[in-house]
Amino acid sequence: MSDLVFDAVSVRYGGRRGLTAVDGVKLTVPSGQVVGLVGESGSGKSTLARAAVGLSPVSAGRVLLGGVDVRELPRRPPLQMVFQDPYSSLDPRMSIGESITEAIPRGVLPGRAARRDEVARLLELVNLDPERADHLPGRLSGGQRQRVALARALAGRPEVLIADEITSALDVSVQGAVLNLVRSVQRRLGLSMLFISHNLAVIRYLSDIVAVMYLGRIVEVGPAEQVLTDPRHPYTRDLLAAAPSATTSLLGTGSDDVIADAEPADPHHPPGGCRYHPRCPVGPLVRADRDLCLRVDPAEGAAQRRHSAACHFSDNELTTSRGASAS
C-alpha cells in the first residue's frame, strides 16, 4: 500500500476572477489508515476528493500516490472513489454484476468464469447475495446500491479508497450497517482511505486521523482522538459544539447546522488574514487586541503549532477555554 499525498493542491474554476474551491491543501493519507475529512457544506471536501481521481482540474500542486503524480499513473490507477448518491452512481441499464465486472482491470481475470467468481466474491464481501448479480439497480434499496458501489470500487484493486459522504443519502436505519461494513472491509484489506463527511460522530467512529477543512483550506489535522477531545482551532470547536450529543443519534445531522452567528465568508472573495476571523468567537470580533488575525494568514506558521492549527492563538488559554465548555 502507498501514501496518498496532497502536495499544495489548489483547484480553481473560472479563470483569475473565478472561484478557488481548494487552496494550497497539504494532507497525507498514510498507508493502511483512515483520514476523516470534515467541514461544513461548501468547504471544498468533495472538490479535493474529485481532484484526486481526476474529476476536478488541479490548478496548482500535485496529488501523489506512492510518490508518483496520479496524472502519470495508468488509466485505471490504484485509487477508487465511492460517491455520495447511490441512485446515480450505477448505470440503471446494466445489471450489478455487469457494473462490477466493468471495473475489473483488463487482463487480471481472463475468462468469464473467473470474472463471474470475482463478482460473487465481491458481493459476499459487501454482505450481498451473489445471486443478485443479475439484478438491475432499480430492484435494490439505497443501502444495497451503496454496497454495490463499494464492491465496484473494490473490483478496481485499489490501494486507496475515497468515500465521499457515502451515508448521507441513506436512511438513518441503514447508515450504521454501511459504516460497519466500510470499517470491516478497510481493516480486512488494509486499505488507505480518505473518508469525507460533515458528521463528526461518523468521523470519530471510522478515522485514525482527522483533518478539518474550512473555505478551501485545512485548518487543523492530527490523530482523531486528540483533535476531537482537544481541538486547537476555533472552527473545530464550533463544529464539535454543533455536533449531535450523546443524548441524540450517533448518526444525526446536527453538525451542519449554525456554526457561529455570522454567515460564512463569500468563497469568491475570502477575507484577508485568517479566513475564519469574521465568525471566530475568540478573534478580533471580541478581542480588539487580536487584529493580527485581520492582517496575517495563520496558515504560514501552522506546521509549528499543535495539530498544524491555522490559528495564531491556538495555544492560548483563552482559546481553549471555550472548547472545554463545549465538550
- At 288-319, the pLDDT tens digits run 899 999 999 999 889 889 999 999 998 874 44
- At 96-124, the pLDDT tens digits run 999 999 999 887 777 889 999 999 999 99
Kindly report the CATH number assigned to the domain that includes residue 281: 3.40.50.300
Structural domain includes residue 131:
no
pLDDT at 266 over 90: no
Structural domain includes residue 242:
yes
- At 118-153, the pLDDT tens digits run 999 999 999 999 999 999 999 999 999 999 999 999
Structural domain includes residue 99:
no
Structural domain includes residue 121:
no
Structural domain includes residue 106:
no
Cα angle value 238/260/308 (rounded, 5°) = 40
Mean pLDDT of the chain: 87
pLDDT of res. 261: 53
pLDDT of res. 245: 55
Q: What percent of the chain has pLDDT over 70?
A: 90
pLDDT of res. 114: 92
Q: Tell me the whole-structure pTM to 2 decimals.
A: 0.88
- Which residues span the domain enclosing 211? 4-78+158-326
pLDDT at 253 over 80: no
Are residues 268 and 19 in contact, defined by beta-carbon separation less than 8 angstroms?
yes
Mean pLDDT of 255-259: 40
Given pLDDT bands bounded at 50, 70 and 90, which one contains residue 56?
Answer: very high
What residues contact residue 177 under an 8 Å CB cut-off, 6+ apart?
Answer: 143
CA atoms of 242 and 60, how far apart (whole Å): 33
- Cα 165 from chain centroid (whole Å): 7
Q: What percent of the chain has pLDDT over 90?
A: 66
Mean pLDDT of 154-165: 94
Structural domain includes residue 100:
no
Structural domain includes residue 37:
yes
The DSSP bridge partners found for residue 210 are 36, 222
pLDDT at 78 over 70: yes
pLDDT of res. 319: 45
- Cα 50 from chain centroid (whole Å): 10
Domain tally, the chain: 1
Structural domain includes residue 127:
no
Mean pLDDT of 194-219: 94
